[in-house]
Structure 1
Amino acid sequence: MESQWLFNLLLMLQFVILTAVVVWAFRLSKRLAQTKRQHAEAEANQKKQVQVLASGSIGMGRRLVAIEKKLNLAVEKQSEILSKEGGVSYNRAMELLEMGATIDDLVSKCGLIRAEAELISLLKQESRKNSDYH
């Protein structure tokens, strides 16, 4: 009788342990599913953010290319105007700049006013920058 009682007790104990393990596994699987959902939502949000940033970057790149084209055209037109109007003195100023002349040198050697010499110097610098980028 006592062995029967002990057997029933062990059987009940196994049933309780098995029930606890099943409940624990069920709760664990619920938490795992919730964590998976959270990760999927976070990943979707990150993908949306990357798409927004990428489209913004593409748009900004296109704008920069358009602005660069306009700037290059303006520099070319300015150079044409300078070479047509200035004749020899502007061409000479450009040559002197290439050799390392200062703005004061341009004023004294080419007969330019200071504003003209500064403008030619700036155009030359822009021309160098543009040629460095390409």
Structure 2
Amino acid sequence: MKDPNLLYMIAASIVLLLAVLVIVLWLRTSQLARQMRALRQNMDTEKQSSSQTQILRAEVSELRTALANMSNRIGQIQQRTEEVAQQQDTIREADPQARIYSRAVKMIELGAPMEEVMSECELPRAEAELLFSLHQKN
């Protein structure tokens, strides 16, 4: 006949082995669950980053378009400014009185004294004073 202690020890060993196996499985399951949560969180973060990247790319594209439009507009304004300046020069050169004032302004900008401007450009004192107040560098 078999020894009951031996059977008891075998049964206890099997129970102990099963308990260890259950604990190991439980620990491994917990570890896998944590890894799954971390993976899901990483996937969510990646989706958010991808969405933000798409939004930022769209904004950059809009800014590029706006910048190109502004650049074109600035070019048009510069061209128009040059045209207006040329027209003003043409008008100034065509009008003898305007030439006198242009010459007086140039003299003032170069630092000529009021008496010299008045005599060279044949301007009355009041007009010379007005031109000096408008164009003289401080």
Q: Name the structure, 1 or 2, with higher relative contact order (CA <8 Å, separation 6+).
A: 1
Which runs of 5 or more structure 2 residues have no equivalent in the other structure?
Answer: 1-10
What TM-score comes out, normalization by structure 1 length? 0.72
1:37 counterpart residue number:
47
Q: Does 1:4 align with 2:14?
A: yes
What TM-score comes out, normalization by structure 2 length? 0.70
Alignment deviations for residues 4-62 of structure 1 (CA, whole Å, 9 cap, x no partner): 22111000101111111122212221111111000000011111111111111111111
Which of 33, 46, 53 is the matching residue for 2:56? 46
Q: Does 1:65 align with 2:109?
A: no
Which runs of 5 or more structure 1 residues have no equivalent in the other structure?
Answer: 122-134
Instruction: Give the number of the structure whose alpha-carbon radius of gyration is greater.
Output: 2
Cα shift at 1:94 = 5.2
Which of 21, 28, 31 is the matching residue for 2:31? 21
2:100 counterpart residue number:
89
Q: CA RMSD in A?
A: 2.9
Which of 74, 83, 86 is the matching residue for 1:76? 86
Instruction: Give the length in aligned residue pairs.
Output: 118
Aligned partner letter, 2:107: L
Aligned partner letter, 1:23: A
**Fraction of identical pairs, as percent:** 19
Q: Distance in 1 between matches of 2:79 and 2:115?
A: 32
